[in-house]
Chain A
């Protein structure tokens, strides 16, 4: 069970900030979220959205463990 976090505009699209999801990889997690909410799936695939696994940016796919934290980070605004 991975913990999924959304930030910035992604939260408004999804209507949630944080939830658990059962997925073995980031690709599987994205597919799961897309299947549940097509608009969120589209927003997650938009250019500039980065993925952090356990607080480190990952590019491409990665395996998820039972306690993984996956954060979807839309383009950052600066402070």
Chain B
């Protein structure tokens, strides 16, 4: 399932719900991304999505992950709107029969989300606001899977 939300979420609660009532899944890997304060340089992070389009684009890559890593299931929850330091931005959970597939799928999904997902990100700091683009490392990370 893929969800965008403008409300804070609890990664622990998401994991508990995701892990419930599974009989054939042997492994669940999760990743939680938090907004960094950057030593006071970032007061608020603002994430913008294109409703419908962004979910569809993430859905396509989720389907790729599902078949490539033979996942039982996956969950992606992503914040949009204004996010304060320390708040979770993204939560990814992948369920598979065995750990390697779960780990790799989680890594794959995060590399995509950090570099190619249709979001626009603005950092509000003490000197005003600026739009952020992916770092070269983000592009290199996602290229590992091509």
Cβ of A73 within 8 Å of any chain B Cβ, yes or no, is yes
Complex: A68 Cα to B24 Cα, angstroms: 46
Q: How many A-B residue pairs have CB under 8 A?
A: 54
Known interface pairs A8-B131, A9-B131, A55-B56; A78-B116 also in contact (CB < 8 Å): yes
Chain A positions within 8 Å of B, measured between CB atoms, are 5, 7-9, 12, 52, 55, 71, 73-79
- Of the A-B pairs whose beta carbons lie under 8 Å apart in the complex, a sample of 25, sorted by A's number, is A7-B48, A7-B50, A8-B120, A8-B122, A9-B131, A52-B50, A55-B50, A55-B56, A71-B53, A73-B118, A74-B120, A76-B117, A76-B120, A77-B119, A77-B134, A78-B113, A78-B114, A78-B117, A78-B121, A78-B138, A79-B33, A79-B78, A79-B90, A79-B114, A79-B117
Asked if residues A8 and B89 are in contact (CB atoms below 8 Å), the reply is no
Closest-by-CB residue of A relative to B47 is: A79
Interface core residue of A7, A52, A76 (most chain B CB under 10 Å): A76
Shortest Cβ-Cβ A-B pairs, 7 listed: A8-B120, A77-B121, A78-B114, A78-B115, A55-B53, A79-B119, A79-B113
Chain B positions within 8 Å of A, measured between CB atoms, are 33, 47-48, 50, 52-53, 56, 78, 89-90, 113-122, 131-134, 138
Known interface pairs A71-B53, A75-B133, A79-B89; A9-B120 also in contact (CB < 8 Å): yes
In the complex, what residues of A have CB within 8 A of residue B48's CB?
A: 7-8
Asked if residues B52 and A55 are in contact (CB atoms below 8 Å), the reply is yes
